[in-house]
Every structure is written in C-alpha cells, then in structure tokens.
Chains A and B, each alone.
Chain A
Amino acid sequence: MNIFRLTGDLSHLAAIIILLLKIWKTRSCAGISGKSQILFALVFTTRYLDLLTSFISFYNTIMKLIYIGCAYATVYLIYMKFKATYDGNHDSFRLEFLVVPVGGLACLVNHDFSFLEILWTFSIYLESVAILPQLFMISKTGEAETITTHYLFFLGLYRALYLFNWIWRFYFEGFFDMIAIVAGVVQTILYCDFFYLYVTKVLKGKKLSLPA
C-alpha cells in the first residue's frame, strides 16, 4: 500500500458516498445516469468475485463489500425508490455498445484465460468506459448539478491517483500490470474535458453548463 493508492481508494469511496447521499438527501436522481451506475455495479461484481476465493486483507475485503453494497444501493435508489425522478430520456447511451466490445476484448487480451481472470480483465476494461453514459447525459442536458460535479471529480481523481500508484509500485516493487495501466490511462483521459470545466467553472463558484 502507498499514499497514492490509499488516497485513490478514499477518493473513490468519497465519490460513491457523495452520490449515494445526493440521491438519498434530495430524494432525486435528476441528472444521474442510471446506466453508468449499472455498469459500475457490473464492474464491482465481476472484479470482486475473488471475495469468495481468496482473502487479501481486512481493508481489501471491507472496501470491496462497501463498493459492491453502495453500487447496488445506488442502482436500487435510481431504478426503484426514486424512479419517478429518473431522467430516462437523456440517459440514452446504448450499453451494448460498451459491454459487447469490452467483453470481446477481455477474451482476446488478458493475462490468463481463466474464468476469474477474464472477468477481472472485463471489469478493468469496462470501468475505463463506464462513465461515458454519464458524460453523454451531461452533454445532452447541457448542465450538471454542482454536487454531481463533485462526485465526478473524485471519481476521476481516484484513477488518476492510481496511475501514480502504478509508477510508485513499478519503481519500488517492480510491479506493473499493463492491462490495468492502459485502461487506467484511457479512463483518466476521458475525464480531462470534465476536469477542465470543473476547475475553470465549478471551483470558481459557477454552475457547470456546457456551451449551449
């Protein structure tokens, strides 16, 4: 464990909690892409099946359970409890355009053609594009609630911190995982446009609105 991975995990946890609290407190999931949340639930489910097969540490186990629990709770709040506030018309990204190619790539490019490894690879590739429906929805509505931008900031920051974690681990431990690194770079690049808007607008107290 190193400072970049720890702050990365805490940033990820903060994002997940911010989103859950936003929906729960405002009793509304307006502006939130339910499809991205479905993808995140799928990412955690396929990545953390090793909870059933191996124990790494209490931290590892507890964080995985929190991530999975919050992901499904968020999907439940969006599609069941606060379904009336779900903006389905603007959440129109076709999930099959992401899941099918990612599934195919996971079968072609992986470290080991075993069940858990293929699922882990699938979850790594899927996570790198899972935010696309959310970013697509914001581009369609042309704006985002400020709390939603904070959620996206911490979510994008977490994988950027993981990139530094991988530099650290390569230098000090000789560890590197090319699949996770390439996917992590792609994932972080997808946030660059948002990061620019977040820093130039939201941090200056303005509302995040895309050029009409």
Chain B
Amino acid sequence: GQVTGGKDEL
C-alpha cells in the first residue's frame, strides 16, 4: 500500500 507521510517527491 502507499506509504503515508506526505509527499516527499517533487
């Protein structure tokens, strides 16, 4: 599943 914790990618 998608790791939460905001979008660290640009």
Contact = CB atoms under 8 A, between A and B. Distances in A.
A178 B3 contact: no
A111 B7 CA distance: 12
A162 B8 CA distance: 13
A173 to B, nearest CB: 7
Contacts of B7: 47, 50, 56, 120
Q: How big is the B interface, by class? A: under 10
B4 to A, nearest CB: 9
Interface residues of A, number: 23
Contact of A67 (B2, B6, B10): B10
Nearest to A177: B2
B6 A56 contact: yes
A56 B8 contact: yes
Nearest to B3: A175
Contacts of B2: 111, 175-178
Contacts of B3: 173-175
Contacts of A57: 8
Contact of B10 (A12, A177, A178): A12
A87 B3 CA distance: 44
A200 interface: no
A120 B10 CA distance: 11
Tell me which of B3, B7, B9, B10 has the highest count of chain A C-beta atoms within 10 A of its own C-beta: B10
Given A57-B8, A60-B10, A180-B9, 17 more contacts: A12-B10, A50-B6, A50-B7, A56-B7, A60-B8, A63-B10, A64-B10, A67-B10, A111-B2, A120-B7, A162-B9, A165-B9, A174-B3, A175-B2, A175-B3, A176-B2, A177-B2
7 contacts: A54-B6, A60-B8, A111-B2, A120-B7, A173-B3, A175-B3, A180-B9
